[in-house]
Amino acid sequence: MTESNNEAVILTQGKNKLKPPPMYKILLLNDDFTPMEFVIDVLKIYFAMDQEQATRIMLKIHTEGVGLCGIYPSDIANTKVNQVIEFSRKNQHPLQCVMEEN
């Protein structure tokens, strides 16, 4: 057996100590100014929801104050939060999007 094959045997026999990555919830917050249709567009564009799902989540945020958009690893969650905030500010809406460890 070659040296590299011996290494492979040792590595596969060792206890696998890899933990799954920490995951982050992305939440949208309600406000009095952002149009409902704009929030639905955000959910469709950035969170791959269809019209029905996006409408249901938007109404949940509207009535309860906060709603879950998705759960992602930290780099993806960060990117999405920044994209949603940039898209909202470019359209002059105060929509708030935050992430928290799951």
Report, in Å, the least distance between residue 72 CB and ligand TYC.
Answer: 18
Contact positions with ligand TYC (CB under 6 A) in 13-52: 28-32, 34-36, 39
Name the β-bridge partners of 27. Answer: 68, 98
Strand order in the sheet with 23-29: 66-73, 23-29, 96-101
| CB closer to ligand TYC out of 18 and 88 | 88
Q: Which is nearer to ligand TYC, 24 or 26 (CB)?
A: 26
- Residue 96, exposed/middle/buried by CB under 10 A (0-12, 13-18, 19+)? middle
Q: Which residues contribute to the site for ligand TYC (CB under 6 A)?
A: 28-32, 34-36, 39, 58, 61-62, 95
